[in-house]
Amino acid sequence: MSESAVPFGARWQLWEQFALRGAGFPAAGVLRLAPEGLAAAADEFGVGDVLSGPRWEGFVAEFGVAAVGTAVVLQEVAGLGSFRAAVAWQNRAVLGSGIGPFLGWVPSVVGRTSMPRQREELVAHYWQRFCVKNDTIGFFGPVGWGRLDRSVRGVVMEPGEGLIVRSAVYFSSWSIDALARTLDEQEPGLREWLAPRRVPFVRVDTGSVTVPGRPAQPVTPVVRRVLECCDGTRAARDIQRELGVDASLLADLVKRRWISWRLEVPADAHPERHLRATLESVGDRTLRESALAKLELLERGRDRVQAAAGAEELTQAMAALEADFMTLTDTAAARAKGAGTAPGRTLVYSDSTRAATARIGGDVLAALAPLELLMTSATWLASRLADRVRSRAEVVFDQLGAAAGAGGRVDLAAFWFACMPILHGDAVSEAAAIQREFWLSWAGILGLTEDPKEQGRRREVRVTADQIADAVREAFGRQGAAWTAARYLSPDVLIAARDAAAVERGEFELVLGELHVATNTIGASLFVNQHPAPAELLAQTGRDHPGPRLMPLLPKEHRSRLSIRVRHVLVRPEDYYIALVDNPTDPRRARTVLGADVTVERREGRLVVRLPDGAVFDALDVFSHVLTTLVMDLCRILPEADHSPRVTVDKLVLARESWRYVAGELGFAREKDEARRFVRARRWRDEDELPRFVFVVSPTEPRPFFVDFDSPVYVNIFAKAVRRLAAKDPQARLTITEMLPTPEQTWLTDDQGNGYTAELRFVALAD
């Protein structure tokens, strides 16, 4: 048992430290947008009532006054310097195009035409994100930290001073990459000072070079020696001088895609530091100073953004940085959103550390105990996927081994590329099939039928852990070996309680947000960099893994799953990196191995990889990132349905109640009159017994958004999202999930007593 971990159930331990994710604005902010008494007045009109006549006209007048009052509140919100600064980080352009004009408008009933209403919704939409979404970015979503402490009861809060204790501005990796690319292209003399390196999947034998999927090509001893020297640490001029070759040979190897010879920046939260180190090694003073001057221009711009006080200074500093960047690189200063764009659209981003800290007591930890049952089923998911991928990979290995012939070897690069159809085809189908089996097992455990009508009538399934423990072990107890990272699970847990005092009295429920399978989510750069002592997290990782690990090197970014901010950085010097396709690491880092230099073997009936120094690891660890990506979000105990009940085990909510609707069938959304739309939306909500506070997920919206059915402006935002989805596909569905905890249940407070939404991000490790 780790000395800094807490025992949890029969085979688990929880890291003593947890991350505290919370919003950066008080949750009560969204409640200000629900005019007092308006919802009750709207509910006086029953389903059969005609929305006309004197009584209706009286309500319309009341609605108009309330809408103007809400507009005034939204102007107060939009006038907050902290709000405008948060918006500036998200989308600076709307400060001038939307929020500025909105602040200059005088609200009135007749003046609430289309454009002012759109601007109201713009402010309200940002406001809900800042007040009730547990994002992790900047001061409007700072990272907090806490510890498990069995010696206390409930939640012990230390609010600290202010909201945050520190904040830092980081370059997005793509912005420094763009500068490096520009320097490479515009400074031709720079190339000879750069160190080329072999492409990871290029295999060099005594008299030949092999690229996966192609026949071996003969090479001269000189070319072989050049390839051996291209290790990313020796400058091209030194290789040329040592071996007596000229730059044309290196250029030819680049053309063949056998080496990479350009100004590259390793993946890191501080890419500018690596670029600086490379540029400072350039022996030509003129070249060096010219290149460094361009980097320093961006660094000064970043520093001005860091030092900016208030939204106005921030926008000016950002605009100046963008202008300098575009002048230097002739590249757009912001990336368009798209399926192929990773997070990080802007040149720089900000992360902050929350001042508040928390200790979670033994009684809260005891209430979390039923989570062990779900964790058992989660590890079953990983082991089942591992079994199926392993069996298919063995077939690929046998085919490659037969092709290599007696005495030949199967290198990891060839094996990796040959397994691509499995990892991105068969394994995807296998994961979906395993999840369906997972759902069926949980339906039996919880006593749910497959009849949608029966399930639709059940609002909640409430059981005890003792009632279902045997069934869980029977369904999920048979597990095989998975990959090393699959020992980790990362549950996000929320506490539903009116305040910390209520938690201490035992008046609380726990709510599972998500259970991330096969990953340590607080090992991501965005968390580690905001920890007061990152070495503590690294030391805990060492206790979890006494020996070295094998970890595949990932590209810097890839769509929505990978960016520098979410890159796993709890990597120790003794751990091995395997470069398969890309090699975005510091070439001077020890224990970084090229895939083509690694051998795949079968030992004692299992596939392993043998590194050049003789170290041996399970071959499945090479696929760990792909497998984790497939399985990490599969652990939802209920499939999507028209209605899914809340599932509660003892004091732990494992699944919130949810509903799915066809967008084209929600008639209230098409109502043009605001007052009628509000009344009809509330009638619809009452008929289906939806709660007041919900989150909505729609295929046409970039992220889930909050709706308060007592707030006309949030009903308007909801209706607009429905119309947008229906216009794209009338049969498309959106999902509505109860908000739990609600905005009134905020135990996390600051030094002024303001309450914030929050979740606890734990790390669990299987013994």
DSSP state of 95: I
Ramachandran angles phi, psi of 188, nearest 5°:
-60, -30
The reported pLDDT for the residue numbered 563 is: 85
Both tokens assigned to 337:
């959103």
Q: Specify which residues 748 forms β-bridges with.
A: 756
Question: Using CB atoms within 10 A of its CB, is residue 249 exposed (0-12), middle (13-18) or buried (19+)?
Answer: middle
Phi, psi of 555 (to 5 degrees): -60, 160
How far, in Å, CA of 318 to CA of 330, rounded? Answer: 17
CA-based nearest residue to 180, from 260, 236, 278, 264: 264
Confidence of residue 344 (pLDDT cuts 50, 70, 90): low
pLDDT reported for residue 501: 95
122: DSSP letter: H
Cβ neighbours of residue 578 under 8 Å, at least 6 residues apart? 412, 550, 551, 552, 553, 593, 595, 598, 609, 622
What is the band of 673 on the pLDDT scale with cuts at 50, 70, 90?
very high
Query: Which candidate, 246, 233, 243, 240, places its Cα nearest to that of 198?
Result: 233
Q: Is 351 helix (H, G, I), strand (E, B) or coil?
A: strand
State how far the Cα of 551 lies from the Cα of 583, in Å rounded to an integer.
12
Query: What local confidence, expressed as pLDDT, does residue 338 receive?
Result: 54
DSSP, collapsed to helix, strand or coil, labels residue 288 as: helix
CA distance 63 to 370: 47
In this structure, the number of other CB atoms found within 10 A of the CB of residue 704 comes to: 15
| Alpha-carbon separation of residue 100 from 73, 108, 123, 314 (angstroms) | 15, 18, 11, 15
* CA dist 582 → 178, 259, 264, 555 (Å): 17, 12, 11, 6
pLDDT of residue 408: 86
| Tens digit of each residue's pLDDT (9 = 90 or more) over 587-624 | 999 999 999 999 999 999 999 999 999 999 999 999 99
Give residue for tokens 């099939």. 433
Separation of alpha carbons 396 and 329, rounded Å: 45
Instruction: Using the predicted structure, report yes or no on whether residue 1 has a pLDDT greater than 50.
Output: no
Using the predicted structure, report yes or no on whether residue 702 has a pLDDT greater than 60: yes
**pTM for the predicted model, two decimal places:** 0.94
Proportion of the chain above pLDDT 90, given as a percent? 91
Q: Which of 720, 712, 749 is nearest to 71 (CA)?
A: 712
Instruction: Find, among 455, 307, 412, the residue nearest to 623 by Cα.
Output: 412
pLDDT tens, 440-493?
Answer: 999 999 999 766 565 556 899 999 999 999 999 999 988 888 999 999 999 999
pLDDT tens digits, one per residue of 551-580: 999 888 776 567 889 999 999 999 999 999
The conformation of residue 588, written as its DSSP 8-state character, comes to T
CA distance 375 to 765: 10
Residues facing 334 on adjacent strands: 346
Q: Where are the alpha helices (DSSP H) in 52-113?
A: 53-78, 81-91, 93-94, 100-103
**Average confidence score pLDDT of the chain:** 94
Please say if the pLDDT value at position 71 is more than 50: yes
DSSP 337: P
User: Among 335-339, 596-600, 711-715, where is mean pLDDT lowest?
Assistant: 335-339
Integer Cα distance of 542 and 678 in angstroms: 56
Write out pLDDT tens, residues 103-157: 999 999 999 999 999 999 999 999 999 999 999 999 999 999 999 999 999 999 9
Q: For the chain, first and last CA: distance in Å?
A: 8
pLDDT of res. 339: 40
pLDDT in tens, 395-440: 999 999 999 988 889 999 999 999 999 999 999 999 999 999 999 9
pLDDT computed for residue 767 by the predictor: 84
What pLDDT is attached to residue 450? Answer: 61
